[in-house]
Structure 1
């Protein structure tokens, strides 16, 4: 059995709660989350020690210990990506397959540094939104997409990744510029490509399901609502990555996504003005 180590900002969060059972079941018991480390305890949440006792996962007192004792590594902190670079320093030097949870990095510069560190030490690594693996997206024809309108729940700060990632995976990384079009309660971002193709993301509150409308240059259109088990598909992909050490998400896409998210936060301060991307 291969042992997986969790490295998190704090452990009593949704991804850390769900991933262990999903991974063990999907791998038929060949992989198990055995070790965990949490940087801090959060008021109103279980302490890292209490969480570990509840989950039956051994709490270790350092990232170094988790890296040393684990076969595979998962850096969590899904809602606090500002800690990803710090938490990933030893994992990315380890040479051991490492998954870094969404959102990968708070800005383009951090994303580039993390990939460079992994490459330097020969560490297989990737990051993704689970939405990338929704069956509805995988069945789409990518060629000839002219425009995408994407909708979903949440706040821009930690949920826009789930709409930006599918758009980049479908339309490409060569985004030219972006424009903020949202209101105080409904974030919205226009993403434009050099040839005039464009995508929009719209966050309409927690009751809004993930959905997408697409228009093709040939004139046809498509509308889809995400109802497939995208988390199950993601976990299957994660297991395959650990076994093969081959990430399916290109670095260029992850860096482009980090760039869009970083500049999206800047664009929110100057609505209805184009902001060129590097």
Structure 2
């Protein structure tokens, strides 16, 4: 516990809420994986959320990143529950927000199972907004950091979550639109897909810029874009132009923050 900061009753409540949000998210994830005999997420909503649900859906292996994100959130929830973290100013600033992102994460899975495809879009947009705000607070807060553990479990995990959900929001929205737009729109799928991916590139660079060129969101976003390219080259529906664009965007959103961060690290030694 921070000896210079007195503990308040709301601090313990925050720790409990974070653990409760984690439990809800994990239970929803287990159900969403089809562990109890129900259909898995990709088989729900008439298969619209599967890898062939739209031209902007990544291949199946892309979703393995959830294991890393969930692991990071589990470790964070346990770490923030330690007595010494109870009055930590960083936890006070971010604990409630991270709990909100985990709750919305679980709510998306519940919506995919029991709601409509449009409602999944609404929830994932809310999740994206919550993650964006949380990551912004995490990198902008002036409160003292707790070293490597703090940076990895707060900035790193939230950044990965944000980067992946950025692409997931695009894929989810594209899946919904595919079910409601006229079939004739497929003739312009390549042009629409390329345009959307250019916007994704701008969003990815904006996230990097606003976070002082943190790399975590770019890693998750580039991972998803790479598997999107794989699906467009070898899966269904196929689109070589979208696949090539996805690769270019993945390289740009990853290399730019890496390059800028590298230059910042080298600058002191150069000076």
Which category of TM-score, normalised to the shorter sequence, fits these structures? under 0.3
Q: State the TM-score, normalized to the length of structure 1.
A: 0.25
Q: State the TM-score, normalized to the length of structure 2.
A: 0.25
More strand per residue:
1
